Structure 1
């Protein structure tokens, strides 16, 4: 309570201590300063928040880009080793022929620019390699073996890879003592070596090595591809986003610097070791880096996490380095070959703040301009308010000293103007009491004239009206406002229309009942700013102050109306409003853009996920083996693929395509892959158990997430191949039967006729000619039959009649030159048979008749064709010499085998009965459904 009273008491003395101008101006300026300062502060804080959000997104994108590119970069040495291993397995490279191997490694090193060394060491302590010799990447050949007395000798080369001169005779070199040699033997797979110094002492290497085994599983040697850590740093330098961003790699286990995007080398001189050149350098801890940012960030990471091994997931941090804020992204990077690194990306806050600082400066500048304008306008307004008060003060002091002639010149019509007029009136009244009466009229006239001059000089419109609507007085500014010099009598109801008074911002005349003068006639003082005076060429917005003038009895006799032209002020307010509207619209548009980008990114991620899910479902549902490979290494396969090749699904990822290809087809598959062939081709695949099967492959090369992959669909075509072979075999068997039943039979009979004709040429020329003519006719007939058989057409014999007539003609044709008697008989009513049955019965009959002609030496041959209701039978019987059935096998006699197969084909039952001296009978019976 005491403090409150003391505070009120203190403020009650403020007017006594400070001038009126100070009391009005200082609080006004302080308020404006507070508003402008708060606006600038909020703008700065919003910028800081935007920086944090953008920094987190950008850091994640940069880190992922570095991770993906680094993964591709580090995959290259192992891919080179795998390619060389495949070439050795396929016999394209012979590890015993170092000269050919040397040329291959040299050409390979020229292709893969990022790799510094590609080499091979065998089990005999021999080593050969092509190397870009540091520090200037001079192309060299380095060899160690019997020819160099096992010293590691370095040779310079020409562009073709030929050795030109010895650069260094070298020192004893034993690959078996090196980490890159022993580690892959122990792990039996591709592996990274420890980081080790180059034996020249000018670079640090990390080696990718892979064991090579022969077909018996014996070790042949170790393939080696080395990376120069300085080149990894140069690779990181090329991935930088901004001028001041840096990225570097730390080995998690030793906390040593592996590579950095700065120009700093990842090693230091080792002054304690001077004997061996390779011991003159050594790696160093990241916290000992000469780059102040690398050093500071590493120290802060060590301080925050203690042991870097505890960083298992992606981390985002921010530190101040040299009073400048930096954003840090730490990303673990490891592979299955022994790499366990940390990728650190450092981006200074200035990278993001450039545009935001520019916006902040623009905001501050606008705030300062607004502050200056507001302060100037406020001071002018306050000066306008306080100046008449000061004048009144001086005049009151002058009047107190008897200076009656002192007049107050205040060109205003507000309360201060009224006070000034009252003060002058009081002065005039006091002076009038001391002057003569004759001077009163003169003084009054002078006062009226002076007042008129004062009012005319005031830059605002002043008018006085009586309650009837009659204009009592207007000054010059008022006449200019209504564009009329002499104001006529206008009724109150017509005033708005006559003087073109409108409601501001509309096309509506100002309502009569709301005119300020009418309020004043009712005894009210009003202040409004929604009136416009319209002229043909311009519109004037005004601020109106109307006050009543009362007589001695308190009755309103006049209304004093003051109109102030606020055109410039309205323009200023509109500019400020437009600026705020533009600023709000820009903020809203940017917000919508950000929201749209976020929604689009989320939709893209959802679409990608759905696409991958659909692909997996389709891949698992298909009956084909689906594979996705990159550079010959399997990245994905479906369950059908695992079942087709006999593997578990988990075993397939990471395997080479050659592991599934039969050796005789590997060169073919390699050429298809290297040429990017997209189409269908057949090959032979190899299962896990060593068995092979024919397959049809459809492949396509495509881009996926920035990587070139090859998608293939593999189909086992074993059944199709077997069906094709069975079809070919069946057709070949059919042709063999047709050839036997046509040409072979015809030729056999022709040969018999010709043999007989040759014997008769000297004894009976007519018989010989008859036999030759019969042989010729048989040859023509056989040729015609063969052509029909090849074309799978109906036999020519059947084209001219039924089977009975065909057999009769065939028997007559072959037996006509002989004395054999032919008996043909049909039993029952002939009915049509299917073409297949007719053709096969004819061929069976032809074979039986041909055999009788060749072997039986019969005097009579009977041909009986019986047509019954449920079956049809063909019977051919001769009375020739016959044969022993037990001594003849159907399998060894092609004619009997063909008759048996033809009978089986049409479902007929074939029986053959014969015995020596008793002739032979062939019977074929087939069931018929009429």
Structure 2
């Protein structure tokens, strides 16, 4: 470390000698100033260029925030007007200054309000049917519209006015009852202020308006009337157009439904369809950027209804990159809009480039100014310093003159004042010294004291040409030797140079002092000499003296002699040598340690760089994985919706048609094929989605208690017929100590066993398929009833072709298949992967052993908990529903779906049972139907155009929550009014999403329940029964009646049915029983084809039972026949 500092100092000295010492003083002052300025400006420019991308983004975000804040402030200021007017009106009525019964006074008051507030239409109606309206025309004049008891309720009189708002003439009389208007009815029903839907004027479709209505009550909370205020939204469009967002930017406001409220480019907010103006959706906008931005928002969030708070995003198109800020704006009475600000990156960069050019020109001007200022300052400083230089030269020439006036600069003034003082002191000292020297010379010459006596008593070594004192003799170890030359004296006294490289050596090799370096000789010309590099040898040691020689002046101011003194500094020299050796050793150790430390630091720096690089790679990998997961989730969600929606129609219509008893056996078989293919595709979709959920760690266990022995029995019956069809022997072996009632996920355990046993049966051509079940250890007896859990082991063994060792690792990978599986061209390779994940969820694992040509054995274990018989729910056979039970009210059900096929399926299923059903294609139609028809239950699709199911559900639930029945009674004084609002309308969501988080989102909007597409008729009707308490007639009841009732068209008596069945072969009856026990409708339908035509009634009965999954009823009939 010390050596490095030494090298740095050496480099600094070299630099000063090579450059600084040679540079002019002007350059020394100007160049650093200019370099500092250029360095600062350059560094700022470098940092700015490297952070330009972030600066562009930050500037865009700042611009978007400022614009959003201004828009919010403008909306709040303008749209709060109706609330302010309503509050003022309510206050005036409370204090009695405004009386709603005085029509003329009310008219004048509303006209005054039109002067003070920027509103288009101000109106008031009361429960009696009286109405006052003041409308502003384009020319600023007002129209007065009036319905009064005096002129007759139901007749609207329209008057033109002059500039003083006086009636001029009657323009029109028409029939009108304000109590039938939506603005009146909704305000009364809600009992609070509300906003209407935005609408385009019929005659001027470019004009959008919105109406706010508010009910007014007296101190007893009795309705006294409703105030309505219409606002034109053109001012919002004009305000947005005045905001500067750049040539490539856009500002627009959307409703949650996607309809445009206003935009900064003043695009037409409507389109003409069949001569009528309809508001435009943002995705249909003529402005390409508005359209692309909205499409990206829908793609990013799934629905505009999911955007909450403020969202900052960016996207790229062929035109460049855009920064988007979306902010949700709401008011206190129901408006819920989205403010969208789009800033073009190109606009921001253009502004930045313009600022850069200006900054560059300013930097050049500043550079020139700094340089000129440095030159002027340097000239002035040099002028002051040169004055001091001239004074110094005069002093060296013994010219004593004052320096001159003191510089006004503080630092230079401080320098000039001491210089003048020093000059005077130096002049005084030289004069005094010269006088003393003359006096001493004179005194010395006259002195009678012998020099030898004076020198002898001096305590230091003193040498004179003719005398040596005692100390000198001790040092030189010789007496005074006279009449010898200087060279001879050097040889006699052996005075050597210490630590030099002089080549003048004595006979013994010592380095003698050359004659010219003797201090006495060097002092004679007038030089004072101080030497400390001499050595004088002694018998015991080498003495190191420090010699000081001074010349002595005579009276004639000539040098008469020189006196030399010497001091013994041997111990000091030895201490210096020890210190130098210690420093050398210390420097060596420090250098060594420093090198070792540098190596450690280098290793640490290398490790740190590697660690940082690894962290960056891991971070990039994590970000990439998160993006991939989001993309995969979005893809799976879209795939689920796009596949499940048509599958719902396919399977739904197959169910509807299968209930038609007039279809032939061939058509029924065709429907069965369609149903099987659809269910196979649905299972494939479910497997893929389930695998995705497993990979995302979102799969959980649904623990339930069940009868394990019965579970295994049903499983055996389900698979036995499939094994018998291939002449395989299916063996289930239970250990005697397995429990009867257990707790675990029954559904996932069934799927695992069906996958493993199904694969064993599918790939085994002959032999046996065996399932063994046992406890890991111990018994489940009474002593084990209170155990927390125990391991249950399953073994599935077959005599199939076996699995190659190199393929075993592929078994449990997603979409992995063995050679045998690929040759069979069956399955997707997901079954075993899902099974293993399920087993691992149940705290177990799957292993496999296999031998080619002999078979395979799969073993897995799960953890189970004990259960009691009371905890097990008794399973009941679900009978086919054929209609509503008698004595029930009429149930109204609304079906809302944008897909016509899906609506038709629901309508056919529900009307066939006896429900009254209506349809709607989007959320807006659903709200209108709900308000007009008041259904008991709504089946609501969640993804629809115009207004989705989320928003429609929120609106309906909000209106139900704020319903106040007494106000409705006050409003219902006319002959034609909508039905009373049902405050308990049930909304069941229909969605094609298979993700659990979607279920939570849907229920959080207010939906009462949730059904996934595709659904079955049984699930649909079960949900209706749960929420409405509907009672049904089951087909089993009708079948039993048909068997016993003599009027039945199929069989006149039960004995006739038994006789028909007894004519079939025992083997056929046994196969039918096995198929029913395995719950396989496909196998039953295949066996029914063997029934001869003369027994068609028997075929029809069994076919209906199979199509409606009445397997227990089939087994009951066949068992009765066997007895």
Same fold (TM over 0.5): no
**Structure number with higher strand proportion:** 1
Q: Which has the higher contact order (CA 8 A, sep 6+)?
A: 2
With normalisation by structure 2, the TM-score equals 0.27
Structure with bigger gyration radius? 1
